[in-house]
Structure 1
Amino acid sequence: MSEKHPYFRRKTPQELLNEIAEEKRGKLKLYVGAAPGVGKSYKMLQDAYDLKLEGIDVAIGLIECHGRKETEELIKDIEVVPLKEMNYKGSIFRELNVDAIIQRMPKVIVIDELAHTNIPGSKNKKRYMDVEEILNAGINVMSAVNIQHLESVHDIVQQITGVAVRERVPDLFVQDAHEIQLIDVTPETLRKRLADGKIYASEKIEQSLTHFFTVTNLSSLRELALREVADDVDEKIEQISGNLMYGPIGVHEKILVCVGYGPTAEKLIRRGWRMANRLKAQLYILNVTKNSPEAFSQEKRERTEQWKILASQFNAVFLLEQEGSRKPAQVIIDIAKQYHITQILLGQSARTRWEEIRKGSIVNTIMRKTENIDIHIVSDGRS
């Protein structure tokens, strides 16, 4: 009798428990746009209203109308869960009331501005964490986000617009969405909406038209949004239509990102994630250090923690390796061999040409002492 394929093995108790938990978890629908004003909130409310007409229990947890009358009109017939008032530095702020939503337990809840950072003292630091808690309670969530708030495109967006976006959402959270809908309008239409006062207050219109809302910026962000959503669709199709007889498509590539304490470490990590995501590869992040972590300065400890947070968001393995008697190139080689790395990302060398002549090029050393590993050099120019 022929041997059964490993895919048909008996599932472990933990795997069965994970499947049951996944079935009980709510589903996330995301409305993604290239920029503010494309109509994400309006379309989300339209869909919520249609669900209400079908007899489905829908409520609004938080919606940002920004004074848009058409959006405000749609709210009137949908129940709104009151926001939680919080006192911070003598001012009153209103945040999403996670506990009240879970207690109310609607079938679907509308929660706008996914990338928002909550006021200090809130239950969760970020709104997407609030949404995660609500999903885990078994409530379906409809939410909206602009493409520039996606963690992995931070450097690209900064290069396009000259703006460093502070509020960001992990890619893995977005990829877990059950459905992603792109809300798309042309740059010309968006600029007209802005000029007509449908996006921002009148005093912000002129500056926005000449800065963030230029045709070049909007066209680039639109292309970025289209590409990111298309990649998500491709991935879901691959998961569904892959050869299920032999299980999910496996990970073959392994990518190692080598970071130092220069200004571009986070950029390298995000670039590595984008490569790993497209290649369905495991991502490793390596920092080679002379000292033990106990001897790190406060600044180095903070940077290392920041890298660990990014690694966690990107589902990457973070490695902190001491040189000891080895040179940095040898440490990278040892790690690459240990983890069967197929691609290495390095920042442009900080060494001068004279130093490379005296000490040797790290890239040349790695190439000489390894086989079948591709090496990518990423420019140190800030994006």
Structure 2
Amino acid sequence: MESYDKPRRKSPEEFLKDIEDSKKGQFKLYIGSAPGVGKTYRMLQEAHEMRESGIDVVIGLIESHGRKETEALIKDLETIPLRDIPYKGHVLKELDVDSIIARKPEVVFIDELAHTNVPGSTNKKRYEDVLVILNEGINVISAVNIQHLESLHDKIQQITGVKVRERLPDTILQEAKEIILIDVTPEILQERLRTGRIYDSTKIQQALQNFFNRNNLSALRELALREVADDVDERIEKINEAQGGIPFFNASERIMVCVQYDANAEMLIRRGWRFAKRLNAPLYVLHIATKPNENHLKRWRELCNQFNATFIVEEKRDDRNIPRAITDIATKYRVTQIIMGQSARSRWEEITKGSIVNNIMRYTDGIDIHIVAESPNF
């Protein structure tokens, strides 16, 4: 008798989620390694192709940055006027979400996904505007560069020396039905820069010496290729599971990041998430303090929400030292790997009070500990 695996039945919650998702618009995202690779240009080419096929398309917002080729592609397309928002005595322009919803096109093109909206806008970030539009059943096509992903913030700063201020959660990638990587070599990108196709002539030399140097562009390109490859792997796993295959979930691995009040705390959370993502394992973030700082907690909680991590705040008690508190929480959540920054203790403190890492190892068995060194670039 032949045997076969019976497809897994969806739970009522999963079934209802599928119904809700079917009402939402489809999201397509173009990703590039750096400005000037051609994301916006390719988006506008697609807009023309769709219009010629009879699809109702509009431009919600496109940033041409003065590029003539881009501006030429915008002219013949219907554009939704931007919304005026008064701010500090000036009138600034932002995406008009309400007008797009009222117009209800089949597809709207919205550029610069990581943009931070002017104070007074309905949403803080443009990607939040996009989520609202998708929930109205309107399809959205957008674009972003790899350096704007939250989890890559520290890596990008280490590579380029630039602290990217406009960032968006990695979970936005999961909203996309399709992700397209626009890939060009560093040589081609530098040539576009030299010929004035990215920035005006006053910025070219400085850009070539800084962000657009060969090493930076090569590293950014590798990051973009790897990120999209990882996304493809995740989508294949989801399709396999949906078709009744055995889902891959590393149930034996649980990652915990320990953070304190130092400059590396957010970097550790991002590092922990990427580590957990590769292992397809749950992530926990632990903070132990006598008097928690609400400003720090707010930011860490926001990061944990972005990364689907469990944020744990534990009060430090006099009768329990830090290593013991960490191991108690690790045991409670069945953690298998702990990620920590370098100890702030001096060599003398480690001699008299003992190493935190050594004490954790003494109190536990079967937990791997990863120490992330501070980087002068952070």
Q: TM-score range by the shorter chain?
A: over 0.9
Contact 1:44 1:142 in 2 (8 A): yes
Which of 286, 310, 315 is the equivalent residue of 1:317? 310
CA apart distance, 1:156:
0.5
CA apart distance, 1:361:
1.2
Once the two structures are superposed, residues 234-278 of structure 1 have per-residue CA deviations (whole angstroms, 9 ceiling, x without a partner) of 111122235943553334121100000011000000000101111
Aligned residue for 2:367?
Answer: 373
Task: Tell me the TM-score normalized by structure 2.
Answer: 0.95
Compared CA separation, residues 62 and 243, structure 1 to 2 (3 A): closer
Aligned residue for 1:163?
Answer: 162
Judge which range, 21-30 or 159-168, deviates more: 21-30
Aligned residue for 1:296?
Answer: none
1:333 and 2:327 are equivalent in the alignment: yes
Counterparts of residues 214-233 of structure 1 (less than 5 Å):
214-233=213-232
Compared CA separation, residues 368 and 6, structure 1 to 2 (3 A): farther
Aligned residue for 2:185?
Answer: 186
1:342 and 2:336 are equivalent in the alignment: yes
For 1:80, what is the secondary structure of its paired residue? Answer: coil
CA distance in 2, matches of 1:149, 1:271: 16
Question: Which structure 1 residue ranges, 4+ long, deviate > 2 Å from structure 2?
Answer: 4-12, 14-17, 241-251
Contact 1:7 1:247 in 2 (8 A): no
CA apart distance, 1:176:
2.3
CA distance in 2, matches of 1:290, 1:157: 34
Counterparts of residues 179-258 of structure 1 (less than 5 Å):
179-242=178-241, 244-245=243-244, 248-252=247-251, 253-258=253-258
CA distance in 2, matches of 1:183, 1:313: 25
Compared CA separation, residues 10 and 96, structure 1 to 2 (3 A): closer
The one-letter code sitting in structure 1 at the alignment partner of 2:298 is E
CA distance in 2, matches of 1:256, 1:287: 11
Unaligned runs of 5+ in 2: none
Percent identical residues? 58
CA apart distance, 1:366:
1.5
Once the two structures are superposed, residues 109-136 of structure 1 have per-residue CA deviations (whole angstroms, 9 ceiling, x without a partner) of 1000001000000000000110111111
The one-letter code sitting in structure 2 at the alignment partner of 1:121 is G
Unaligned runs of 5+ in 1: 294-299
The one-letter code sitting in structure 2 at the alignment partner of 1:287 is H
Aligned residue for 1:297?
Answer: none
Counterparts of residues 47-126 of structure 1 (less than 5 Å):
47-126=46-125
CA apart distance, 1:310:
0.4
The one-letter code sitting in structure 2 at the alignment partner of 1:136 is N
Contact 2:240 2:247 in 1 (8 A): no
Compared CA separation, residues 35 and 10, structure 1 to 2 (3 A): closer
CA distance in 2, matches of 1:212, 1:290: 42
Q: CA RMSD for the aligned pairs?
A: 1.7
Aligned residue for 1:303?
Answer: 296
For 1:245, what is the secondary structure of its paired residue? Answer: coil
CA distance in 1, matches of 2:71, 2:216: 28
Aligned residue for 1:278?
Answer: 278
Compared CA separation, residues 355 and 199, structure 1 to 2 (3 A): same
Task: Tell me the TM-score normalized by structure 1.
Answer: 0.94
Counterparts of residues 10-29 of structure 1 (less than 5 Å):
11-12=11-12, 14-29=13-28
